[in-house]
Amino acid sequence: MYQMCIVPGGIDTVWRRCHRPLVSYRLLRPALFTLDPERAHGLAIAALRSLPRKAAAPGGRLTTEVAGLAFPNPLGMAAGFDKDGEVPDALLGQGFGFVEVGSITPRPQAGNPKPRLFRLAADRAVINRMGFNNRGAAAAAARLANRKRHGIVGINIGANKDSADRVADYAQMTRIMAPLASYLAVNISSPNTPGLRALQDESALTGLLDAVLDALGDAGPPVFLKVAPDLEPADIDSIARIAIDKRLGALIVSNTTLSRPALRSSDAGEAGGLSGAPLKPLALQRVRDFRRATGGALPLIGVGGITTAADAWERIRAGASLVQLYSAMVYEGPAIARRIVRGLEALMQRDGFTSIAEAVGSE
């Protein structure tokens, strides 16, 4: 939440300077929504730099262990919000149990032509075709190396659009980022880099993960794999089988979708990946599908359309050990994290569970 105040310079200056928790984000949101979405996002990052940076400590009722990591609560910020690793600690300070930064590529990348980010306010959704825009591995690594390393921060890695060898890009990113990451998330599911989703095919995925795990060695952080929601049943089964065989730490289910359910907003026809509330039914079903395909042998992280504690709880009951959000924060502001965490604790108590782990897959 941020203070609405009057200072010279208009909304840009207000957003950067006025950040005391006096007035709800919802009062500021109409002014932010008059701005181009990318510009508003940049202002959000700028505002977060000045917010508290104390991560929650594990040990509470919502603490859950995944891939050997103790998450203080199961709610994370998904990749895409903090592409360059600028504000992970500020996000942890807002109540998130973990933060995933990126996607980061070996070389700086401008991404796709603008406009490439669209708010679908009537649908509480977002369409993006960003294209892995980021300042590159060297800049992100330098910034992340200066953290005090409190809290769980995953690093989402990708390949450059014009790379001659994308598998080599992922191996390079693994070597660079492994020493700085609580976990590595291998992102092969963005719909906005041509050909990237082909790496989800069985033979390509096996080769990619072999290269990543070879680059990681024996002492690196756990490796998570982020998959698309737009998968056929055979794809789900093969990905689950490979992930278990390679002993991955978790599957992140899922990224944005190229499908288009019924939408009301004028930008509904824009190309790119759809996220937010309309993605919820598909993303929920994919968690159920991967829970069945893995037999519960591999932790799942549920992403897509999570706005409330009830949404997060439903995803956990369906089989997700952790959940993430991003688009909902566009509409609800940073207070959403603490609100969902409080709600999860109440729901866990209501349903008679003593831990998140006990509730996973219990529907």
Supply 48's token pair. Answer: 């977060």
d(CA 51, CA 348): 29
Q: Which residues contact 122 (CB under 8 A, 6 or more apart)?
A: 263, 264, 265
Integer distance in angstroms from the first to the last C-alpha of the chain? 34
Cα R_g (the chain), whole angstroms: 19
Any idea of the CA torsion for 53, 184, 230, 165, to the nearest 10 degrees? Answer: 130
Containing H/E element for 100?
A: strand 98-104
Q: Residue 190 catalytic?
A: yes
**Angle ∠(358,224,221) on CA atoms, nearest 5:** 100
Answer whether 159's CB lies under 8 Å from 212's CB.
no
Separation between Cα atoms, residue 64 and residue 263, nearest integer Å = 36
Residue from 163, 190, 321, 327 carrying the catalytic annotation: 190
> Smallest Cα–Cα separation from 225: which of 204, 6, 122?
204
Those residues whose C-beta lies under 8 Å from the C-beta of residue 207, and which sit 6 or more positions away, are: 167
Residue 31: Cβ-neighbour burial (10 angstroms; 0-12, 13-18, 19+)? middle
Contacts of 65 (CB under 8 A, 6+ apart): 71, 357
Active centre residues (catalytic): 190
